[in-house]
A and B are shown apart, each in its own frame.
Chain A
Amino acid sequence: MSATKAFWEGVEHLFKKTFTLKHPYQKRELPDGYRGRHLLYLDRCTGCGICAWICPEKCITMVPVTNEKAYPQNPEKRFPQYWYVRCCFCHFCSDYCPTAALDYTKDYDLAEYEKELIIWSPERLSKVPDGYKGYRTKFHGWAGVDHVPSTKEQ
């Protein structure tokens, strides 16, 4: 009797909707505010280095940018560079950023054949991914500049 019961359960599932995503062709819509890779607004970043201070993994280094454009808010042209094999995607850097120069994107596909290719320069970070609508608009209340000591250990 129970054998037929088990068989019936199997047959029932034949006619149910499949759960599998056909992954490379069919993608699930990620929610707003998904913590993927960062987006850097070069025209907002002041190069203060708070992101590099709060990063738990020392994944961020501040590097000079060598393009022709002038950034009045950042005369030294020092911007964060991410080494994504170290990044844990906690996005404390985005939350702490006092000028909202860092934002969340839904880009998670960062796999590479070589480890060196996973270093993201400021220019590469400033590229806007497809379908980006902008998430971080207001300052997050919990993090504050008053947490930052006057002498930053970088």
Chain B
Amino acid sequence: MSTLDLNVGPQHPGSGHMRIIVRTDGDLIVHAIPDIGYVHRGCEKIAESRNIIKNIPMLERPNIADSSHLNWSYIQPIEDLQGVEVPERGRYIRTILCEINRIASHLYGMAIMAGIFSGHTTMYMFGFGDRELFLDLAEMLTGARMTFSFFVPGGVRRDLPKGFKEKLLETLAYLERRLPEIDRIFVSNPVFIERGRGVGVLRKEDAIRLGVVGPVLRGSGVRFDVRKDSPYGAYDRVDFEIPTFKDGDSLSRWLVRFEEIKQSISILMQAIRDIPDGPIARKSPIVIPKGEAIGRVESSRGEINHYIVGSGSDKPYRVKMNTGSFKNLLALPFLLKGARIGDMPIIYGSLDYWPVEADR
């Protein structure tokens, strides 16, 4: 038996900055070894030398498509340690921004998988085009397109601007009209379905064993969502479903994102309807007390945790980021084993892997 070793990446027509060493036999993959670390920037070491406010922009950079969730996950343990309660309106604003970000990020993920990895340029244009509208909303609220630096210990930096509610409802109505169109063109498209169905199957028990998170987990039929199971922010005040799919293949992971967008629309509708008046932030000290805490936030790529050890000064003693992509990375060699080399891009794309987040 003769095998061939292939080096895929770090420059490849996918998202780049990751190398996968693939051993193939014919076009079957014997094993695949991901080689990461091309964007390892040492966030955790730098974070120990800056104070907690200065760390906010840096610790959200690892995933700029998903920055508000990273930001929240970093702020949550600090608030736990400081004992600061976020005012109700602040929680709602955080929830609204996170859901806007989730829609934008899921559109990005859908566009990347269907658009770049399976070659449907239409989905790439649809996904990125509609995502722009949600970035506009975020820009109106926070002043930046992707890197918001918006959550600070104790609350948020700005109140909802004038005309935000109308614009949000208008954009959501647009997306609701738009989703059936995406459904018509992609979800019921035989070409697209055949590319994803039965490719890269991750069964339920394997998903639990490997500890994958986010849409990858829910695509395998495990009903788990931090927003529901360990609520934070205003998620216990809104009503939503956890979409799960039983098959565990690439198509179901794509469809989980598609269904989650619908749930996010419903959460946004409820949150903007119920948002109470009041202060948006409570004054918090800059000192982080001694002790340790871990936060849990459901980002669009899965559960993220920041483990923070306080030092009693304004700098954290230790910050550990545990991001969704890093947890999902373990599933990649597992899924690639025995797959065809032509299915590799689809499997890679369906994990919605964000290399910068995994390397930190």
Contacts and interface: CB of A to CB of B under 8 A. Distances in A.
A40 interface: no
B186 to A, nearest CB: 11
A72 B74 CA distance: 42
A78 to B, nearest CB: 22
A90 interface: yes
Interface string B308-334: 000000100000000000000000000
Interface string B148-175: 0100101111100100000000000000
Contacts, number: 69
Interface in A86-118: 88-92, 95, 104
Contacts of B142: 35
Interface in B48-67: 50, 53-58
Contacts of A149: 314
Given A31-B140, A56-B58, A88 B161 contact: no
B211 interface: no
B283 A90 contact: no
A142 B147 CA distance: 19
A27 interface: no
B185 A9 contact: yes
A55 B57 CA distance: 10
Interface residues of A, number: 27
B143 A2 contact: no
Contacts of B184: 9
Contacts of B50: 56
Given A90-B57, A142-B281, A31 B129 contact: no
Contacts of A34: 139, 143-144
A42 to B, nearest CB: 24
Nearest to A92: B53
A10 to B, nearest CB: 9
A147 B285 CA distance: 7
A33 to B, nearest CB: 5
A147 B286 contact: yes
Interface string A1-37: 0100010010000000001000000000011111100
Contacts of A32: 161
A31 B54 contact: no
B185 A33 contact: no
B190 interface: yes
A95 B157 contact: yes
A31 B286 contact: no
Contact of B53 (A33, A141, A147): A147
A23 to B, nearest CB: 13
A143 B58 CA distance: 18
Interface of A is mostly: loop
B157 A33 contact: no
Nearest to B150: A90
A30 B145 CA distance: 11
A53 to B, nearest CB: 9
Category for how many chain B residues contact A: 20 to 34
Given A9-B185, A19-B129, A56-B50, A142 B55 contact: no
A149 B185 CA distance: 58
Nearest to A144: B283
Contacts of B156: 142
Interface string A54-97: 11100000000000000000000000000000001111100100
A49 to B, nearest CB: 15
A124 interface: no
Contacts of B139: 30-31, 34
A127 interface: no
Contacts of B280: 141
Contacts of A31: 136, 139-140, 143, 161
Interface string A112-154: 0000000000000000000000000000111110010100000
A55 B50 CA distance: 10
A55 B53 CA distance: 9
Contacts of A144: 283
A80 to B, nearest CB: 16
A19 B58 CA distance: 33
Contacts of B140: 31
Nearest to B55: A56
A115 to B, nearest CB: 21
A104 B149 CA distance: 15
Given A56-B57, A90-B56, A91-B143, 13 more contacts: A31-B161, A33-B158, A34-B144, A35-B142, A35-B144, A56-B50, A88-B147, A88-B149, A142-B152, A142-B156, A142-B157, A142-B284, A147-B53
A-B interface, 9 closest residue pairs, ranked by CB to CB distance from nearest: A35-B143, A56-B54, A147-B286, A31-B140, A90-B149, A142-B281, A90-B57, A33-B143, A142-B152
